[in-house]
Amino acid sequence: MSSKNKFISRKDLTEFLEALSVENNIFHLTDLLEYVKFEKEVDSRPAIDAIRSTIPLKAFFVNHGEKLEHSGDSREKANSCEGAVTKAYGHQTANIIFGVKACDLKAKIIMDEIYLKGVCSDPFYEFNNDNTIIFSSDCPYPSDTCFCNVVGGKPYAESKDYLFDLNFSAMEKGCMVDIGTEKGDKIIASNARFFRDATSQETALREQIRKNAVVKLEDINSAYAGLKNLKLESVLKEKFDSLAWKEFSQTCVQCGGCNNACPSCYCFYLDENIEDKASDELAPKTRLWDACHYTSYGRVAGGANSRPHLYERFRNRYECKFNYRKENFGIYACTGCGRCVSVCPGKIDIRQVLVKLAGEK
Amino acid sequence: MNECYQPIKGKIERIIDETPNIKTFVIRPQTPIKFLAGQFIELTLPGVGEAPFTPSSSPHVEDTLEVTIMRAGVVTNLLHATTVGATVGIRGPFGKSYPMDKFFGKEIQLIGGGVGMAPLRSLLLALMAEVNKFKRVVLKYGAKTPADIVYKGQFKEWRKMKGLEISSCVDSAKLCDNWDDKVGVVTCLLEDSVKEKEDKSSTIAVVCGPPIMMKFATLKLLEQNHKPENIYLSMEKNMSCGLGKCGHCAVGQYFVCKDGPVFTYAQLKDHPELWT
Ligand SMILES: Cc1cc2nc3c(=O)[nH]c(=O)nc-3n(C[C@H](O)[C@H](O)[C@H](O)COP(=O)(O)OP(=O)(O)OC[C@H]3O[C@@H](n4cnc5c(N)ncnc54)[C@H](O)[C@@H]3O)c2cc1C
Ligand code: SF4
Ligand code: SF4
Ligand code: FES
C-alpha cells in the first residue's frame, strides 16, 4: 500500500468521480449538509469541506423501515429498502460515500462493535458494510455545535485512528489524498492518471489548515475546555442519582431527535407486518429505528417500565454514551458531532449539561 | 447469510390451562430446537408481534417445546386466544443458561414466584435428570392464591420424587381452598432456612419471579449469608432482537439478552437500575 500522500486537482476530481460513477453510486456531501447522488452532467457540487451531514452516516448501514428478508437474492433485497437515504442502489458495485467526517468514523467504531461483533454479525449491516467505500474529508470550518476536540477527537481523520478507504483534505487548488485501505489503494492505482504525489509545500499547507481548524474548535468550546481533563465515565457514575437530571430534562419533549440524529445510537426494534395477520406464512420482520427517550422503549409486561420517568430516560442517553459503552468498548460513544445540539427543540446542549453535571456537589 | 431475524415455523400442539391467566403451550417446531435451561426464545404470533419467553420444558426434549405464558398485554392476550393447530414463529434460543457445572455437589434452592416458575421447571427437570450429582435440591414456590399455582398436577408427582424437597406458599387462601401449606408473601418460604442455621456459603439459590419478589427474596437470602455470586437471577427487560444489537435490554454495560438473562447478583448488584 502506498504510504505517500497524493494530490488531485479540482478539475481532475470531477473527472475522477465521473469515472467512478460508471460502476458505483457516489453520494457526496453538499453545503446544505445533505448527501446527494453524484450524476454526470448534472451540476452537483460536492462540498466536502462542509461539516458533518445532517443525517448521520449510520443511515447508509442500518435502514429505518428495512424489511429483514434473509432469503432469495439477498443482495438485491438488502438494497431495495424504502426509507433509506440511499433508496435502491441497484446493481452497482458499491456505494461510495464522499465527505464522511472524523466524528462519524469514530461513531462507526461503536456501530461495528454492536452490529458486526458479539453473538453474531447483523447480516444486513454486514452486507451494507462490505459494499460501501468511504471517502472521508477534513473539516477546515467547524461550526458552533462541533465539539469533537472536547471528547478526544480531531476535525480530520488519520488512518492510525479511523478506518477510511481514502481521505480528502480540501485545499484551494485541489485535494490532498491519504490512503487508508487496500481498497483505497486499488482505486488510486486504477485511476492513476488523476493523481500525483503531493509536494512538501502541499503537505505543509495541509498541516497549517488542520492546525487552524483545531484552534477554531478550541475557541468555540472554550467554555467547555474543563471537560477534556475529566473522566466522564466517573462523572456519570458518581452523579447518577443527582437531582439535577430533573432540571436538565425540563425542556425535553421526548421527540427522540437526539437519538435519531446521533451517529452512534444503534437502537432499533423489530416490527411485525400487520398485513400478514392470520396468514400461515411468517413474514420477515421490519427494522425500525428506536430511541431510549420514548416511553415505549423500556416497557415490559403489564405496563411496567424500566425507566418510567422522563429524567431517567434523558439520563440514560448520557450514561449510554459516556459510561456504559465506554465500559464495553473503551471509547466514548459520543464523538462530538453536535447533531443533538442542532436538532433539539428543547434547546438542550449536551456540553452544558456535562459541565453543570460535573460541577454538581 | 445467517438468518438471525427470521423465525422458523412451529405448530401449537396442545394448550394446558394452568391458572385463570396462565397457559402452557406445547409447540412443535418445524426443525427441533436445542436449548439449555434458562435460555429464552422469541415467539412470534404472525401479524401481531413477538415476545420473549423461557421454555418451561425439559432441555432434554428437543422435538417439542413448552412455554408457559401469563396474559400481560397485546401479544400474550392474543396468544391465549389461539387454538391448537395455530402457527407461531420461533427465533432462538438466546442468552446464557444456568451454569449446571457450577451447581454439581452443592445444595440448590429454586425460589419461584408466579409465572417465574416457568424457567425453574425447565431447570428442575434438568436437575432431576442427574439428581445424584447434587447435595440437595429444594423447590420453594409462591403464588397469589391456590388457584394461581402453575403445574398443579406435576407438583403432586414432584412431591414424591426422591432427592427433591418442596415447600409452597400463597399470599392468601380461602377456607374452601383446602390449602395446607404456608400463607404469606414469598419471603416466608425462606424463613425456615434461617431456623436451620446452616452454613449457606456454598448453597446455590436460583430466583425467578416478578421484580418485586426477586428483590425481596434476594435481600432475604443475603441476610441469611448466601453469597452474592451464588444467587442467580433471571432478569426481565424489554427485548426485541435477542442478539445484543437492538439495545432495549441494556442494564449498564450488560445486554440482558446476550450476557443474561441469567445473572448472579454479584454481577448486577452495583447497578442502580437493577430492580426497576
Ligand atoms: C428473557 C425473558 C423471558 C420471559 N419468559 C416469560 C415466560 O416464560 N412466561 C411469561 O409469561 N412471560 C415471560 N416473559 C415476559 C413476557 O415476555 C412479557 O409478558 C411479554 O413480552 C408481554 O408482551 P405483550 O405484548 O403481551 O405485553 P404488552 O404490555 O402489551 O407489550 C407491549 C409492547 O411492550 C413490549 N414488551 C412488554 N413487555 C415486554 C417484555 N417483558 N419484554 C420485552 N418486551 C416487552 C413489547 O415489545 C410489546 O410490543 C419473559 C420476558 C423476558 C425478557
Ligand atoms: S440506549 Fe439510547 S443513547 Fe444508547 S444507543 Fe440506544 S437510543 Fe442511543
Ligand atoms: S432532541 Fe432534545 S427534546 Fe428531543 S428527545 Fe433529545 S433532549 Fe429531548
Ligand atoms: S434484546 Fe436486543 S439487545 Fe437485547
- Domain membership of residue B242 (yes or no) is no
Q: How far is the CA of A321 from the centre of ligand 3 (A)?
A: 15
Minimum-distance CB partner of A269 among B94, B211, B240? B240
Chain A neighbors of B246, CB-CB under 8 A? 266-270, 290
**In terms of domains, do B188 and B125 share one?**
yes
Q: From CA A283, how far away is CA A296, in angstroms rounded? A: 23
Tell me: do B85 and B164 sit in the same domain: no
* Lowest-pLDDT choice from A158-167, A338-347, B197-206, B219-228: B197-206
Query: Which chain A residues touch B94 with a CB distance below 8 Å?
Result: 119
pLDDT tens-place string over residues A18-75: 999 988 889 999 999 999 888 877 777 788 999 999 999 999 999 888 889 876 544 4
- Residue B275 forms part of a structural domain: no
Assigned domain for B154 exists: yes
Domain boundary among B75, B93, B111: B93
DSSP-derived secondary structure letter, B231:
E
**What share of chain B in percent tops pLDDT 70?**
97
Q: State which ligand 3 atom lies nearest to the alpha carbon of A259.
A: 6
Judgement on whether residues B88 and B168 belong to the same structural domain of the protein: no
Q: Do B244 and A267 touch (CB under 8 A)?
A: no
- Residue B3 is assigned to a structural domain of this protein: no
Question: How many domains is chain B partitioned into structurally?
Answer: 2
Q: Are residues B82 and B28 in the same domain?
A: yes
Q: Give domain limits for chain A.
A: 6-224, 236-359
Distance, in angstroms, between B138 CA and closest chain A CA?
A: 28
- Which residues of chain B make contact with A266, given a CB cutoff of 8 A? 245-247
Q: What is the pLDDT of residues B110-146, one digit of tens each?
A: 999 999 999 999 999 999 999 999 999 999 999 998 8
Chain B residue numbers touching A325 (CB-CB < 8 A): 253
**Residues flanking ligand 2, CB < 6 Å:** A 259, 262, 265-267, 291-292, 316-317, 320; B 247
Last residue of a domain, one of B72, B93, B114: B93
Q: What pLDDT is stored for residue A278 in this prediction? A: 57
CB contact under 8 A, A70 and B245: no
Which one of B74, B93, B112 terminates a domain?
Answer: B93
Query: Strands B204-208, B231-234: parallel, antiparallel or unpaired by DSSP?
Result: parallel
**Is residue B255 included in any domain, yes or no?**
no
B221/B72 Cα distance (integer angstroms): 28
**CB of A279 within 8 Å of any CB in chain B?**
yes
The domain containing residue B13 runs over which residues? 8-93
Residue B276 lies in a domain: no
Asked if B69 and B13 sit in the same domain, the reply is: yes
Ligand 2 atom at minimal distance to the Cα of residue A317: 3
Residue A320 has pLDDT above 70, yes or no: yes
- Output the domain CATH number for residue B67: 2.40.30.10
Let me know whether B19 and B107 are in one domain. Answer: no
- Give whichever of A300-304, B171-175, B222-226 has the largest mean pLDDT: B222-226
Q: Which helix (H) or strand (E) holds A8?
A: strand A6-9
Are residues B105 and B80 part of one domain? Answer: no
Residue B125 lies in a domain: yes
Flag whether residue A301 sits within 8 Å of chain B, measured between CB atoms. Answer: yes
Based on the domain organization, do B67 and B187 belong to the same domain? no
Q: What is the three-state SS of B238-249?
A: CCCCCCCCCCCC
Nearest CA to ligand 3 atom 7: A252
B28 lies in the same domain as B60: yes
> Residue B2: pLDDT band by 50, 70, 90 thresholds?
confident
- In a domain, residue B35? The reply is yes
Q: Is the CB of residue A119 less than 8 Å away from at least one CB of chain B? A: yes
**How far is CA A65 from each of CA A6, A281, A314, B165, B241, rounded to the nearest angstrom?**
40, 20, 25, 52, 15
**What dihedral do alpha carbons B36, B38, B39, B41 form, nearest 10°?**
110
Mapped onto helix, strand or coil, the DSSP state of residue A61 is coil
Residue B238 CA, ligand 1 centroid: distance in Å? 7
CATH number for the domain spanning B123: value is 3.40.50.80
- The answer to whether the CB of B248 is under 6 A from ligand 4 is yes
pLDDT at residue number B178: 77
Report the residue of chain B nearest A111, measured CA to CA: B245
Are B171 and B115 part of one and the same domain? yes
Instruction: Tell me the ipTM for this assembly.
Output: 0.91
